[in-house]
Amino acid sequence: MSDTFNALLRAQTEKDPAFAEVYERELKRIQTYDRIVNTIEEHRENLGLTKKRMAQDSGIPYSSVRRLLTSSGREVNPTVGTLADLAASVNLRLTLEPDAERLETHS
């Protein structure tokens, strides 16, 4: 992001707490999606699997696998089931962990 955009974003979040809350929530959603997909993609590459083979193993159409693994979280919205199937196809499973930052702010 450009410095100008970052400055505008910072000004808007300081001025509008509701905007800041929505922005932070969306940013975390995108970062979480990216972290999951990047981990799945890394394991796929380490196993030497093609996206086509991953699609066959997961039962997810190839076009969907390709789109999910090459898009940012802003562009797609897969179900947890789809992410779990993709993860399983590379011998991973999805797990949840506490958000330490949120726990600190709600204490």
What the chain holds in terms of domains, given with CATH numbers, is 3-105 (1.10.260.40)
Q: Which two tokens stand for residue 36?
A: 């999951």
pLDDT at 35: 92
pLDDT per residue over 66-80, tens digit each? 999 987 655 678 899
pLDDT given for residue 30 in this prediction: 86
In order, the DSSP letters of 22-45 are HHHHHHHHHHHHHHHHHHHHHHHH
Please state the pTM of the whole predicted model. 0.79
Distance CA 11, CA 69 (A): 33
pLDDT tens digits for 5-61? 888 888 888 898 898 899 999 889 888 888 999 999 999 999 999 999 999 999 999
